[in-house]
Structure 1
């Protein structure tokens, strides 16, 4: 994965979440749960790291636009 860009965490309320899961379906289910609580820039795909188990997904959150927090 690319390094986290300073702009993604430049202000209070902005966050980056990385999910590690056994498979794509699980990773996207976690992302969907997060999306139900706050505004996110969702990931469109997962990545695999050679030699490491499972998949990774990164999404960007804006807690200033919270739905249910």
Structure 2
């Protein structure tokens, strides 16, 4: 994954979440759970690093903007 950009964490309440799991379905389901609670910039797909197990996904949350259930 790319290094975390300073703009993504420049203020309190902004969070970068790196998710690792066995498959795309799992990381996307977890991202969906986060997006159901907070304002989230979601990713469309996971990445897989050659020679490393599982897949990875990065999303960006704004904890200052909770969503209503």
Gaps of 5+ in 1: none
Q: Within 5 A, what are the aligned runs for 1:1-69?
A: 1-67=1-67
List structure 1 segments (4+ residues) > 2 angstroms apart after TM superposition.
Answer: none
Q: Tell me which protein shows more helix as a share of its residues.
A: 1
Question: Normalised by the size of structure 1, how large is the TM-score?
Answer: 0.93
Aligned residues: 68
Q: Tell me which protein shows more strand as a share of its residues.
A: 2
How far is 1:49 from its partner?
1.0
Gaps of 5+ in 2: none
Question: Normalised by the size of structure 2, how large is the TM-score?
Answer: 0.93
